[in-house]
Amino acid sequence: MSKFRILAVYLLLPAAASAQNLVGTGASVLDSAGTQRGTFTSGETITLRQGVNVLATDSSSVEFKFEILNPAGAAVFTHTGNAAPGTAGGAQSQLAGISVNSFYSSPGDYTFRGTATQTPYTPVVQTAGFLISSPNITLIYPPYGARGLSDDPLTFRWTASGASKYRVTVADNAGLYNELHSAVNSGENSYTYPQNPTQPREQLVPDQVYYWKVEGLDGSNNKISESNVYNFSLKGQASAQTRNVAITRLDLSSPMDYTKPLSFRVTLANTGSATESNISVKFSLGGLASQDSPKQVASIGPSEQTDLTFTAFMPPGQDQALAVACADLFDDNMPDNCKTRLLAPDAGTAAPAGPGRKLSYDEMFQAILQRLGPDAAKALEGYTFESLSCPNCTQDELTQIIAALINGDAQLVSASVTDAGGAVSSPAGETAAAAAAADTSDSESLELAEEPSIDMSPLAEKVPGEWSGYTDFRGKQASTFVVRSVKDWRKLWNTLSEEPVPDLDFATTMVVGVISGSEDRAAAVRLLGSRKTDDGIAFDYYQIEAARGAEVPTAAYLFRVFKRSDEKASFSRLDVKR
């Protein structure tokens, strides 16, 4: 029995390492012209080459295995089958015409690993590192066509392409000839323009249109990627002018006859102190743009107003619809750029509450829960209904809207729930809707599509205090969240993940989140940070669009912990939506 056991152990012992017969002479990555390089773009082809020296002739051939590892160390490309005779002397093999796009996933440092094997000798492994950059750089801030910026100092931002450094060029012409300022950074995806430049012509002045672009450079200062050209202008710091246009009135100016086109009067007013020009005013009824929308207002001075008329048909099969008029101008007060009005059968007003009947808050809340659906009702379990507000509508209009909800004549497009601790957005079905007057520019307003779904499990925490990934959420536009209480955080988290709720101290922190819309084709969402505004605190974010032709079945999301602020929160999207 003992001898049998000893024999078994002996048979399982590995063979002693064979003598070394191969010596590596180098591994390299070459471009399509056969030149060795350390940086490539995702649109190129490359050649992998490995060389060894065979010390003594052997009947077995030298087999080569080529692998490419991504920045995370995972093998994303493997090739075997190349061989060379086992004759003493130099032996080499290469694999040409490899498309970088066949293994590329993101910019960064990749590794070519070549393994030369000659049985029964010890294999030789050699590596060569190389950088892959994206050929395109997406500019983020200032956004394209931004006017009247008051940033001091002005910081340019863009998406990194994997370059070693970036060159920022600013000029007063679209061709960037005879540039005003050019600088190269150390690889960061931002650059702050000097407040006191050395040359007088580099000083940026108000109301002048400037053009800028970014180029990615490798370690030898060769250009490997570049952006489009964006333009912007600055606002005079000493100027007391404000920019604000508002839709102050939206009326039905014809009888409510569904068999005929309906006429509407829209009043556009300039409540700012600067003359505005080329303003586009859009009008829709029941989500359908009127046939004469948009209309252009060539110029409107301070304190002036102008009336516009629009003609629209009631959508087929509907006896009520929401009329919406909006002025398309990025001014100092965006919320008043739009006005809405719910049309119902009684000559253009919402259905009345009924003679002498006063609605209780409990009736209002139950009606809202019925319109939101069972998922939202479960998420709102434990809330009490203390108040209801509707930006851009009067108290009478709000009363009529709630009455329409009670009577089943209207449904919610968007709603938000707040309490003493904070706020978390609640989903709502999208139809012609009573509460669509809610200000969708508010960070605590969430607009979802039909049959909403916010199943985000599993939730990935890639860095401490940040969770990102993808969701089946189907809102058309990007949605934003601000959570300032433990109760709201638990409610939100439990809709996102089955994992234990992260323990956060909401006395000192809050959670801010963004979910991309289904129309955005976003591959990722990025939060740049927070900044103070006249009205409170603002969060800047942008979305990285998926590659052209790529399928985007889900929406991207990002949640991050920020230092607590009880000020009113707003969100600003910085990228240009294509």
Mean pLDDT of all residues in the chain?
75
Do 374 and 474 lie in a common domain?
Answer: yes
**Cα separation, 204 vs 208, whole angstroms:** 8
Do 224 and 286 lie in a common domain?
Answer: no
Do 161 and 124 lie in a common domain?
Answer: no
Is 386 buried (19+), middle (13-18) or exposed (0-12) by CB count in 10 A? Answer: exposed
Give the model's pLDDT for residue 574: 72
Per-residue H/E/C for 428-444: CCCCCECHHHCCCCECC
Domain that includes residue 206, residue range:
136-234
Q: Is the peptide bond before 200 cis (omega within 30 degrees of 0)?
A: no
Q: Is the peptide bond before 294 cis (omega within 30 degrees of 0)?
A: yes
For residues 177 and 436, the model is more confident at 177
Do 30 and 127 lie in a common domain?
Answer: yes
Q: What is the mean pLDDT of residues 227-235?
A: 90
Closest among 447, 574, 577, 565 to 511, alpha carbons compared: 565
Do 225 and 301 lie in a common domain?
Answer: no
Query: How much of the chain, in percent, has pLDDT values that exceed 90?
Result: 18
Do 454 and 478 lie in a common domain?
Answer: yes
pLDDT of 373 above 50: yes
Q: What is the mean pLDDT of residues 78-102?
A: 90
Do 103 and 160 lie in a common domain?
Answer: no
> Per residue in 16-41, pLDDT tens?
445 788 999 999 999 888 888 888 87
Do 427 and 552 lie in a common domain?
Answer: yes
Could you tell me the pTM of the whole model? 0.35
> Per residue in 265-280, pLDDT tens?
999 998 888 888 888 8
Range of weakest confidence among 39-48, 182-191, 446-455, 511-520: 446-455
Q: Vertex 543, ends 540 and 549: CA angle to 5°?
A: 170
> Is residue 351 a part of any domain in this protein?
no
> Is residue 243 a part of any domain in this protein?
no
Helix (H, G, I), strand (E, B), or coil: what is residue 167? Answer: strand
Give the model's pLDDT for residue 436: 31
What is the pLDDT confidence band of residue 185, given thresholds at 50, 70 and 90? Answer: very high
Q: Which residues, listed in sequence order, are joined to residue 44 by a DSSP beta bridge?
A: none
End residue of a domain, out of 234, 269, 299: 234
End residue of a domain, out of 118, 133, 148: 133
> Is residue 249 a part of any domain in this protein?
no
For residues 204 and 400, the model is more confident at 204
For residues 376 and 433, the model is more confident at 376
What is the pLDDT confidence band of residue 348, given thresholds at 50, 70 and 90? Answer: very low
Range of weakest confidence among 83-92, 181-190, 312-321, 474-483: 312-321
Domain count for the chain, please give it.
Answer: 4
443: region left, alpha or beta (phi > 0 left; psi from -120 to 50 alpha): alpha
> Is residue 8 a part of any domain in this protein?
no
Give the model's pLDDT for residue 261: 83
Do 260 and 228 lie in a common domain?
Answer: no
Give the model's pLDDT for residue 337: 82
Give the model's pLDDT for residue 18: 58
pLDDT of 181 above 90: yes
Closest among 532, 551, 530, 554 to 540, alpha carbons compared: 530
What is the pLDDT confidence band of residue 367, given thresholds at 50, 70 and 90? Answer: low
pLDDT of 230 above 80: yes
Q: What is the mean pLDDT of residues 84-89?
A: 90
End residue of a domain, out of 71, 102, 133: 133
Q: What is the mean pLDDT of residues 432-450?
A: 31
Do 398 and 544 lie in a common domain?
Answer: yes
Do 148 and 117 lie in a common domain?
Answer: no
Joined tokens for residue 353 = 């509450």
pLDDT of 156 above 90: yes
Range of weakest confidence among 221-235, 434-448, 494-508: 434-448
Range of weakest confidence among 21-30, 33-42, 180-189, 550-559: 550-559
Give the rounded distance of the alpha carbon of 426 from its chain centre. 21
What is the pLDDT confidence band of residue 405, given thresholds at 50, 70 and 90? Answer: low
pLDDT of 51 above 50: yes
Asked if residues 456 and 491 have their Cβ atoms less than 8 Å apart, the reply is: no
CB count in 10 Å sphere of residue 575: 21
> Is residue 11 a part of any domain in this protein?
no
pLDDT of 399 above 80: no
Give the model's pLDDT for residue 8: 38
Counting Cα atoms < 13 Å in the Cβ hemisphere of 57 gives 1
Joined tokens for residue 453 = 């779904």
**Cα separation, 171 vs 179, whole angstroms:** 4
Is 331 buried (19+), middle (13-18) or exposed (0-12) by CB count in 10 A? Answer: buried
pLDDT of 103 above 80: yes
Q: What is the mean pLDDT of residues 328-356?
A: 62
> Is residue 354 a part of any domain in this protein?
no
Domain containing residue 315: CATH number: 2.60.40.10
Q: What is the mean pLDDT of residues 225-236?
A: 87
159-173, 251-265, 396-410 — which one is most confidently predicted on average? 159-173
Asked if residues 533 and 571 have their Cβ atoms less than 8 Å apart, the reply is: no
Which stretch of DSSP H or E encloses residue 3? helix 2-12
Give the model's pLDDT for residue 15: 42
Give the model's pLDDT for residue 4: 40
What is the pLDDT confidence band of residue 43, given thresholds at 50, 70 and 90? Answer: confident
Give the model's pLDDT for residue 250: 87
Q: What is the mean pLDDT of residues 523-528?
A: 78
Q: What is the mean pLDDT of residues 424-449?
A: 31
Q: What is the mean pLDDT of residues 458-485?
A: 72
Q: What is the mean pLDDT of residues 424-448?
A: 31
Can you give the length of the chain in residues? 578
Query: What single string gives the DSSP state of each residue in 203-272?
Result: S--TT--EEEEEEEE-TT--EEEEE--EEEEE--TT------EEEEEEEE-S---TTS-EEEEEEEEE-S
Do 387 and 417 lie in a common domain?
Answer: yes
Sign of CA dihedral 96, 100, 104, 109: positive
> Is residue 229 a part of any domain in this protein?
yes
> Per residue in 293-317, pLDDT tens?
889 888 888 888 999 999 888 877 6
Range of weakest confidence among 81-95, 137-151, 258-272, 447-461: 447-461
Phi first, then psi: give them for residue 39, nearest 5 degrees.
-135, 135
Give the rounded distance of the alpha carbon of 163 from its chain centre. 22
Per-residue H/E/C for 354-420: CCCCCCCHHHHHHHHHHHHCHHHHHHCCCCCCCCCCCCCCCHHHHHHHHHHHHCCCCECCEEEEECC
> Is residue 413 a part of any domain in this protein?
yes
Give the model's pLDDT for residue 224: 82
Q: Which residues, listed in sequence order, are joined to residue 526 by a DSSP beta bridge?
A: 542
What is the pLDDT confidence band of residue 184, given thresholds at 50, 70 and 90? Answer: very high
Identity at 422, one-letter amino acid code: G
Sign of CA dihedral 192, 196, 198, 204: positive
Phi first, then psi: give them for residue 25, nearest 5 degrees.
-115, 0
